[in-house]
Amino acid sequence: MRTAPLFEGSPPERAGYKSGRGEPMSLIRQIWLLLLLTLILAFGGAFGLSLVSARASLSTQIGQQNQNSALSLAQILGQDGRLTVMAATLDRQFQLGGYARLRLLDAQGLPVLERAAAPVADSVPAWFARWVDLDPLPGRAEVMAGPQRAGMLEVQSSTRFALQEFWAVSQRSLAAMLALGALMGAVGWTVLRRLRQPLARTVEQAQAITERRFVTVSEPDVPELRQLTRAMNAMVERLRTLFDEQAGQVEHWRRQAHADPMTGVSNRAHFMTRLKLMLQSEEHAAGGALLLVRVGDLQGLNRRLGRQRTDDLLRETAHTILDSVGGASVFEVGRLNGSDFAIVLPEVSSLREPAMDVVSRLRSLWRGQLPPVSAVIGAVRWWHGAPMSALLGAADHALARAEARGPFAVELDDSGGALALGEDAWRQVLRDALSAGQAALAEFPLIDMNAAVVHLECPLRLPLHGSTAPTPAAEWLPMAKRTQLTAQVDLVAVELALKAIARDNMSRAVNLSPRSLQDSQLIPRLRTLLETHSASAPGLWLEVDEQGALNQLPLLRELVGMAHARSARVGLEHAGHHLSDPSALLEAGLDFVKLDASVTEGMAHDEALGQHADALVRMLHGIGLKVYAEGVASADDAAALWRAGVDGITGPAARR
């Protein structure tokens, strides 16, 4: 037998998984980035162009002003033809502060007067003045003394006041554009928010599909997103329809294989298989009650009432029995032959109570019936490891004694006895066993088609009453449930499994009691264990009984989310009897399902059993679950299961 690589096939979509590449930018972020770049380019470009245009216009205006000033001053200076007087006049004009540079040349081009103002510090930043760089053309004009040319005048007006105004205008423009940009950003945020909501719903819908949950969302107003949402909803509906069809096929073949066609309860073969598993499996109860119910004089009823009415009467009997035992967490009801029904009730403290409830309900059902109808009941106690033939013989003997007493008689055989210890004593025994540090895990391989070990099945063993020999769970689990210690027991098993994984790198599966899920401390303490042993967590498989798990889906979903976030797997064990509705499995987000031995035993030689197993495997594979078979004893059944497509088997056939 080969050993598979540790954690083979660990799903990459688990929470916490990260690829080697960086996380890509989301669509919303890309749209925000595009909007931001657009706003920067638009407003930055507009602001820059406006400044360049204003600078060119201002330079032109100052240049024209320079030319006008030069002409005016030349005309004034020409009134007195003496250069010395002209120079004095220009000097007075320069001192008024309106010019950056004045220059007077004589007729030969030699300078007569030249004045230039030093830079004056003001409120305009130097970088802005350098960037604007106002350098208008100087004004030039000839100075005429009468009809003769006396010289040339050059005028450069001061740009100080123009720069100050230009700086103030630029600040106001920038503030206005920033305000407009903020307004556009708010508008964009509003639009993107409208887009984000339907996008987020679509992403959640897609994520739900990856988690094998199918939900539909309302269609948004945006045409493109409406088309996408409509397509996604259509796909979800098609998938749901497909799974519903598969579920219908599974239920059809389940009834064909396991149910009595008239009453709907288990047929004889399936009931006997379930009873055998309860007697032999260490994960079931330590004991309970077996009741046989016989409808009196069935042949006479057929003659007097007719076949159709008698069949209706038997259906009513089955429904009444189911109503009576329906309050139990685990039970099995079967029809053994034409007039006999059987009931298995694990973990009952009294034989009389369930037997008297059934007989009183049947008496009320048939009161006033003509011809009269009656029934009798024989009840015996069973215990783990009891021979099934002897148990059935004792129940049949009790039934015969009840028939001898008359209609609606009840006979009890309580020779199996009850557990000797009370609840307080059992609580102390279990606590001592857990605190002693001698708890151990048994190991049974679950193999794939190539005989490689997928993982080890690891039921917990506890030494009881000071003994060092480990005791199977069937001996103490019922009292652990009654004393509300199942969560502590399960946490010990998980810790042992994680430590064993660290030692040998072999994946291990551990059972969690459905009752443990109701303990508020279970999931926080499991989280702590998985984080403490994070390297071993991907090799841990947590299993919960099908019926108990599906009856408390919110708690199961919480367990799955916590385990997936730390790379552990969660699945159902002892499954196959309540899987006709795949929506519960889709909602739970499980990783695997282990089919109960009663679903697959004998399928190699029973066409209906084989068809049911085939349909069940196809449906579960269709929603992305791994499918394994428990307790496979026959090589023929193992071969039939491989042909059906199961991913692995456990049981005697896996250990050969």
- The CA distance from 56 to 275, in Å, is 100
Mean pLDDT (the chain) is 82
Bridge partners, 377 (sequence order): 293, 410
Q: What is the mean pLDDT of residues 101-109?
A: 82
Examine the domain organization and report whether 391 and 434 are in the same domain: no
- The CA distance from 90 to 68, in Å, is 15
What is the 3-class SS of 259-309, one letter each residue? ECCCCCCECHHHHHHHHHHHHHCCCCCCEEEEEEEEECCHHHHHHHHCHHH
Provide, rounded to the nearest whole percent, the portion of the chain with pLDDT above 90: 26
- Cα of first residue to Cα of last residue in the chain, in angstroms, is 9
Examine the domain organization and report whether 395 and 428 are in the same domain: no
Q: Which helix (H) or strand (E) holds 586?
A: helix 582-588
Domain stops at, among 127, 151, 182: 182
Please report the pLDDT score of residue 25 as a whole number: 66
Of 445-449, 574-578, 604-608, 640-644, which range is least confident? Answer: 574-578
20-44: pLDDT as tens digits = 445 566 666 777 777 778 878 877 7
Confidence tier at 565 by pLDDT (50, 70, 90): very high
Examine the domain organization and report whether 617 and 479 are in the same domain: yes
Strand order of the β-sheet with 460-463 is 440-441, 460-463, 470-471
| Residue 566 token pair | 């730390």
Confidence tier at 327 by pLDDT (50, 70, 90): low
* Residue 133, in any domain of the structure: yes
Q: What is the mean pLDDT of residues 628-652?
A: 93
Task: Identify the residue with better confidence: 380 or 46.
Answer: 380
Q: Would the pLDDT of 515 be above 90?
A: no
Amino acid, res. 617: V
CATH number reported for the structural domain that contains residue 502 in this entry: 3.20.20.450
Examine the domain organization and report whether 360 and 435 are in the same domain: no
Burial class (CB in 10 A: 0-12, 13-18, 19+), 384: buried
Q: Would the pLDDT of 339 be above 50?
A: yes
* Residue 209, in any domain of the structure: no
Confidence tier at 414 by pLDDT (50, 70, 90): confident
Cβ proximity of 461 and 440 under 8 Å: yes
* Residue 195, in any domain of the structure: no
* pTM of the predicted protein model: 0.65
Provide, rounded to the nearest whole percent, the portion of the chain with pLDDT above 70: 88
Examine the domain organization and report whether 435 and 557 are in the same domain: yes
- The CA distance from 354 to 309, in Å, is 27
CA-closest candidate to residue 367, choices 407, 338, 321: 407
* Residue 538, in any domain of the structure: yes
Torsion on CA atoms 260, 266, 268, 274, rounded to nearest 10: 160
Examine the domain organization and report whether 110 and 178 are in the same domain: yes
Examine the domain organization and report whether 173 and 312 are in the same domain: no
* Residue 275, in any domain of the structure: no
Listed in sequence order, the residues at least 6 apart from 304 whose beta carbon sits closer than 8 Å to its beta carbon are: 371
269-314: pLDDT as tens digits = 999 988 888 888 766 666 789 999 999 988 888 888 888 999 999 9
* Residue 246, in any domain of the structure: no
Of 165-169, 258-262, 552-556, which range is least confident? Answer: 165-169
Domain stops at, among 150, 182, 214: 182
Q: What is the mean pLDDT of residues 564-569?
A: 94
- The CA distance from 284 to 565, in Å, is 30
Examine the domain organization and report whether 516 and 569 are in the same domain: yes
CA R_g for the chain: 46
| Number of other residues whose CB lies within 10 A of the CB of residue 607 | 11
Of 65-74, 323-332, 560-569, which range is least confident? Answer: 323-332
- The CA distance from 93 to 277, in Å, is 120
Q: Of the ranges 57-61, 187-191, 561-565, which is most confident? A: 561-565
Degrees to nearest 5, angle at CA 640 with 634 and 646: 105
Examine the domain organization and report whether 347 and 496 are in the same domain: no
| Residue 486 token pair | 């199942």
Classified as helix, coil or strand, 367 is coil
* Residue 239, in any domain of the structure: no
Degrees to nearest 5, angle at CA 67 with 61 and 72: 125
CA-closest candidate to residue 632, choices 266, 256, 273: 273
Confidence tier at 216 by pLDDT (50, 70, 90): confident
Q: Would the pLDDT of 579 be above 50?
A: yes
- The CA distance from 60 to 56, in Å, is 6
Strand 99-106 to strand 148-157: parallel, antiparallel, or no bridges (unpaired)?
A: antiparallel
Please report the pLDDT score of residue 171 as a whole number: 83
Confidence tier at 213 by pLDDT (50, 70, 90): low
Q: What is the mean pLDDT of residues 434-452?
A: 87
Q: What is the mean pLDDT of residues 492-518?
A: 93
Cβ proximity of 595 and 270 under 8 Å: no
- The CA distance from 178 to 283, in Å, is 72
Please report the pLDDT score of residue 11 as a whole number: 46
Confidence tier at 493 by pLDDT (50, 70, 90): very high
Confidence tier at 510 by pLDDT (50, 70, 90): very high
Bridge partners, 25 (sequence order): none
The domain tally of the chain equals 3
φ/ψ of 337, rounded to 5, equals -160, -160
- The CA distance from 340 to 260, in Å, is 12
φ/ψ of 390, rounded to 5, equals -65, -40
What is the 3-class SS of 221-266, one letter each residue? CCHHHHHHHHHHHHHHHHHHHHHHHHHHHHHHHHHHHHECCCCCCE
* Residue 266, in any domain of the structure: no
- Residue 372 half-sphere exposure toward CB, CA atoms < 13 A: 7
Parent domain of 117: 27-182
Domain stops at, among 142, 167, 182: 182
151-175: pLDDT as tens digits = 888 888 877 777 778 888 888 888 8
CATH number reported for the structural domain that contains residue 399 in this entry: 3.30.70.270
How many helices, marked H, and strands, marked E, lie in the chain?
20, 21
Examine the domain organization and report whether 475 and 382 are in the same domain: no
Q: Chain-centre distance of CA 556, in angstroms?
A: 12
Q: Would the pLDDT of 325 be above 60?
A: yes
Q: Would the pLDDT of 417 be above 50?
A: no
Confidence tier at 418 by pLDDT (50, 70, 90): very low
Examine the domain organization and report whether 451 and 390 are in the same domain: no
Task: Identify the residue with better confidence: 255 or 566.
Answer: 566
Examine the domain organization and report whether 520 and 566 are in the same domain: yes
Listed in sequence order, the residues at least 6 apart from 465 whose beta carbon sits closer than 8 Å to its beta carbon are: 429
